[in-house]
């Protein structure tokens, strides 16, 4: 990586983001009501985005490292935002519209051709924005939905046919579900061979570790399982995740590194050890995601990440072509069924 990584002095250290800290940040930054139009909903600490556009400009980085990205590489964590759909009660993130057309420009930078769309917390269990994006992307996309448990098998089957391959339970910023609903939701989706994707604070994960050992479906921990670099081999949650990886009961997404980094950047050198801990434990159970369009960055919680540099970090973490191919191609194909030709649009 050469001089790519930059160190951070003690005086610049930032406490890892917790839910209560984030909600306080939201109040302090005066994030506007969900009833505001898309232009004003983009307002953050430093003021509104360019008033002539409802879109955010995403920085990109181009380098020779893109030649290392294999064919059929998959970005396993992106979101689509569309202000035609209502914001859920209790939501705290209100990003600008983010379209598949915009995301195609990001793919040109990262070198990926496949993607997994995840319904964001902004919409609760309303999956319409995600499903619309899924239709637009076609056969190169799969998805992770959010459900409240009241959906019929017919509704779930329709989502399965469309390309949904799992559900997400967001216990950090989500407005749907609880730790108590985890087992019930897992049982509901078992017949579809889906997985359950979880985002939760490490303390909560460690407290309920027994639940994950007995789920009837695989669990996917996104955003580095919300474990910070300082918690590697030190926090019980890290050991829980490593054991689940070893037992082939879990997967980890190397996504949203800026969320767990003390410097709130994906280029934080401290993330190297955390990423390698998961890769070394089970490189065949690790996938990668950009977390585009970076809703928390739009809210001012951390700087807007450089998408190309995020891929550069992954190349560094993988260390060799075989491992990079597993993380970007082989593993997503297994987890999301990209070789399945039965997807209907």
How do the domains of the chain map onto residue ranges?
Answer: 13-336
pLDDT value at residue 59: 54
Residues 44 and 299 sit within 8 Å (Cβ to Cβ): yes
- Strand 195-199 relative to strand 114-118, pairing: unpaired
- pLDDT at position 236 is 98
Q: Residue-wise pLDDT tens for the chain (345 aa)?
A: 433 322 223 333 333 444 444 444 443 333 333 333 333 333 332 332 322 234 455 555 544 455 789 999 999 999 999 999 999 998 999 999 999 999 999 999 999 999 999 999 999 999 999 999 999 999 999 999 999 999 999 999 999 999 999 999 999 876 677 899 999 999 999 999 999 999 999 999 999 999 999 999 999 999 999 999 999 999 999 999 999 999 999 999 999 999 999 999 988 999 999 999 999 999 999 999 999 999 999 999 999 999 999 999 999 999 999 999 999 999 999 999 997 544 554
Contact in structure between 4 and 187 (CB atoms under 8 Å): no
Longest dimension (CA), the chain: 55
What pLDDT is stored for residue 343 in this prediction? 54
Q: How does pLDDT run across 106-134, given as a tens digit for each residue?
A: 999 999 999 999 999 999 999 999 999 99
What are the tens digits of pLDDT across the range 308-317? 999 999 999 9
| Topology, domain 13-336 | TIM Barrel (3.20.20)
Report the distance separating Cα 30 and Cα 36, nearest Å: 13
pLDDT of residue 41: 35
SS (H, E, C) the chain: CCCCCCCCCHHHCCCCCCHHHHHHHHHHCCCCCCCCCHHHHCCECCECCCCCCCCCCCCCCCCHHHHHCCCCCEEEEECCECCCCCCCCCCCCCCCCECHHHHHHHHHHHCCCEEEEECCHHHCCCCHHHHHHHHHHHHHEEEEECCCCCCCHHHHHHHHHHCEEEEEEECCCCCCCCHHHHHHHHHHHHHHCCEEEEECCHHHHHHCHHHHHCCCCCEEECHHHHCCHHHCCCCHHHHHHHHHHHCCCEEEEECCHHHHCCCCCCCCCCHHHHHHHHHHHCHHHEEECCCECCHHHHCCCCCCCCHHHHHHHHHHHHCCHHHHHHHHHHHHHHHHCCCCCCCCC
Is the model's pTM score more than 0.75?
A: yes
């Amino acid at each position: 990586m050469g001089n790519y990584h930059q160190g951070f002095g003690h005086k610049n250290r930032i406490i890892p983001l917790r839910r209560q800290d984030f909600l306080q940040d939201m109040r302090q930054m005066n994030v506007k009501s969900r009833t505001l139009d898309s232009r004003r909903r983009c307002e953050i600490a430093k003021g509104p985005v360019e008033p002539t556009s409802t879109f955010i400009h995403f920085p990109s980085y181009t380098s020779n490292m893109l030649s290392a990205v294999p064919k059929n590489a998959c970005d396993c964590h992106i979101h689509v935002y569309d202000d035609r759909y209502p914001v859920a009660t209790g939501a705290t993130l209100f990003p600008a519209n983010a379209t598949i057309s915009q995301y195609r420009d990001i793919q040109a930078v990262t070198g990926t051709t496949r993607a997994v769309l995840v319904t964001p917390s902004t919409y609760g269990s309303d999956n319409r924005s995600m499903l619309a994006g899924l239709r637009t992307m076609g056969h190169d996309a799969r998805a992770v939905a959010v459900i409240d448990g009241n959906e019929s098998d017919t509704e779930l089957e329709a989502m399965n046919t469309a390309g949904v391959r799992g559900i997400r339970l967001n216990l950090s910023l989500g407005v749907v579900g609880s730790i108590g609903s985890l087992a019930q939701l897992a049982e509901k989706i078992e017949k579809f061979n889906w997985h359950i994707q979880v985002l939760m604070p490490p303390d909560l994960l460690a407290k309920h570790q027994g639940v994950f050992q007995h789920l009837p479906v695989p669990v996917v921990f996104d955003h580095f399982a919300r474990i910070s670099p300082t918690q590697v081999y030190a926090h019980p949650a890290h050991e829980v995740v490593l054991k689940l990886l070893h037992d082939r009961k879990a997967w980890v997404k190397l996504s949203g590194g800026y969320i767990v980094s003390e410097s709130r950047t994906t280029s934080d050198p401290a993330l190297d050890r955390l990423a390698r801990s998961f890769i070394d434990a089970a490189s065949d159970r690790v996938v990668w995601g950009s977390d585009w369009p970076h809703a928390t960055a739009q809210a001012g919680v951390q700087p807007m990440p450089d998408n190309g540099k995020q891929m550069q970090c992954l190349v560094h973490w993988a260390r060799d072509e075989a491992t990079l191919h597993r993380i970007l191609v082989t593993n997503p194909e297994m987890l999301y069924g990209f070789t399945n030709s039965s997807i209907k649009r």
